[in-house]
């Protein structure tokens, strides 16, 4: 009799424990490939605060830090291997995981359109297969990249100029004869201050975050490509979540992505701010400007297809217009 009730009690305790495990709150560790003082990170920290408030008892995100925690170009690897659960990065920073990552810069369709035209599924097929990760959401878009310079040019020729790059700009700037040097954003200020570089590639926004306006004379217009910054999660971690937790994560990251129109007005303000800070615009005649943008695109896709002969053309169908 005693033994029977002890067994019942044990069974009840086990049942309670497993019910509890199903509902147990999980905390995901997130690192940013962008420096902590960048507005991207501040905006994401606000989103995380809201995520954690609504996700009590379900899912939480613990922001570990920026490149001081894990170097910019290692964040993708850390997500792939599960050293961290989540990453906040851009494709150009994790081409060491898969070359396809940098192809996202060639998006002419929006993230919202890619959710409808099969692009989001294709990206996630590739990211799962090659990166052991899931691409949760794109949270920066509608943002061109530009070439910024400290020496004046009167045609798109960068002969004799040393330009800071990431994979985003490599082939395009090399096609204009630039001498290129890859650095993480966190190293650009010092390179500018010391005169080690004559210019750099960067989006239309976010140079004030890192004080680069102090050492920037010119911006070349027009811009090219479309900056992409996304939230990634290790695929094993994603699969280990309970359905309600995955649903919460998908819903909250999608809601963040759906705020991307924000960047349209923000970028206009940033361009004004650059003018006010004395950054002058270098531009060419209409035909040259058109050829400049066309060349960026042509060089970008040629390289994408060379780097990824199977997925490059498939991505082109859903990203290009
Ligand atoms: O220039 C860069 O560091 C870069 O590649 C990038 C990509 C997306 C957003 C901001 C910067």
pLDDT string in tens for the chain (321-residue length): 445 555 555 555 544 444 444 569 999 999 999 999 999 999 999 999 999 999 999 999 999 999 999 999 999 999 999 999 999 999 999 999 999 999 999 999 999 999 999 999 999 999 999 999 999 999 999 999 999 999 999 999 999 999 999 999 999 999 999 999 999 999 999 999 999 999 999 999 999 999 999 999 999 999 999 999 999 999 999 999 999 999 999 999 999 999 999 999 999 999 999 999 999 999 999 999 999 999 999 999 999 999 999 999 999 999 999
pLDDT at 16: 46
User: What distance in angstroms lies between residue 57's CA and the mean position of ligand 1's atoms?
Assistant: 35
Residue 86's nearest CA partner among 35, 36, 33 is: 33
pLDDT at 171: 98
Distances in Å between the Cα of 187 and the Cα atoms of 124, 164, 220, 305 are 31, 10, 22, 30
Q: What is the best residue among 164, 202, 204 to mutate for testing ligand 1's pocket, by most ligand atoms within 8 Å of CB? A: 202
Note the pLDDT tens digit of each residue in 239-275: 999 999 999 999 999 999 999 999 999 999 999 999 9
Output the CA 246–ligand 1 centroid distance in Å.
29
Q: How big is the CA angle at 277 (ends 276 and 279), to the nearest 5 degrees?
A: 100
Tell me, in angstroms, the distance from the centre of ligand 1 to residue 206's CA.
Answer: 10
How far apart CA 163 and CA 148 sit, in angstroms, is 9
Instruction: Give, using CA atoms, the residue closest to atom 11 of ligand 1.
Output: 202
* pTM for this model (two decimals): 0.93
pLDDT of residue 286: 98
Atom 3 of ligand 1: nearest residue by CA position: 185
Q: In angstroms, what is the span from residue 169 Cα to ligand 1's centroid? A: 9
Q: What's the farthest any 2 CA atoms get from each other in the chain?
A: 95
Closest residue by Cα to atom 8, ligand 1, is 227
Q: What is the pLDDT of residue 6?
A: 55
DSSP string, 139-154: EE-S--EEEEESS--S
Query: What's residue 15's pLDDT?
Result: 47
Find where tokens 């082939």 sit: 171
Give the residues surrounding ligand 1 with Cβ less than 6 Å away.
90, 92, 166, 168, 185, 201-203, 227, 229
Pocket test for ligand 1, best of 168, 173, 204 (most atoms within 8 A of CB): 168
Task: Tell me, rounded to whole angstroms, the distance of Cα 239 from its chain centroid.
Answer: 22
What pLDDT score does 178 carry? 98
Give, for ligand 1, the residue of 76, 90, 93, 173 to mutate: max count of ligand atoms closer than 8 Å to Cβ. 90
């Amino acid at each position: 009799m005693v033994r029977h009730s002890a067994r019942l009690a044990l069974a009840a305790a086990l049942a309670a424990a497993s019910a509890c495990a199903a509902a147990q709150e999980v905390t995901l560790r997130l690192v940013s490939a962008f420096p902590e003082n960048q507005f991207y990170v501040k905006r994401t920290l606000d989103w995380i605060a809201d995520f954690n408030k609504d996700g009590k008892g379900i899912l939480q995100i613990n922001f570990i830090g920026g490149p001081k925690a894990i170097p910019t170009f290692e964040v993708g690897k850390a997500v792939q291997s599960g050293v961290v659960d989540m990453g906040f990065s851009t494709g150009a920073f994790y081409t060491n995981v898969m070359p396809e990552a940098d192809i996202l810069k060639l998006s002419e369709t929006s993230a919202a359109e890619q959710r409808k035209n099969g692009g989001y599924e294709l990206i996630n097929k590739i990211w799962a297969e090659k990166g052991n990760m899931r691409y949760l959401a794109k949270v920066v878009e509608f943002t061109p990249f530009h070439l910024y310079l400290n020496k004046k040019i009167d045609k798109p020729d960068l002969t004799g100029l040393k330009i800071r790059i990431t994979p985003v700009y490599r082939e395009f700037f090399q096609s204009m004869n630039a001498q290129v040097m890859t650095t993480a954003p966190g190293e650009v200020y010092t390179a500018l201050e010391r005169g080690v570089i004559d210019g750099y590639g960067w989006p239309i926004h976010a140079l004030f975050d890192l004080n680069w306006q102090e050492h920037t004379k010119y911006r070349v217009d027009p811009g090219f490509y479309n900056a992409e910054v996304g939230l990634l999660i290790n695929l094993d971690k994603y699969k280990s979540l309970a359905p309600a937790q995955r649903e919460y994560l998908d819903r909250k990251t999608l809601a963040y992505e759906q705020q991307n129109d924000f960047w349209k007005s923000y970028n206009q303000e940033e361009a004004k701010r650059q003018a006010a800070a004395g950054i002058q615009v270098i531009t060419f005649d209409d035909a040259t400007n058109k050829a400049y943008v066309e060349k960026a695109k042509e060089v970008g896709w040629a390289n994408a297809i060379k780097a990824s002969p199977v997925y490059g053309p498939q991505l082109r169908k859903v990203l290009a217009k």
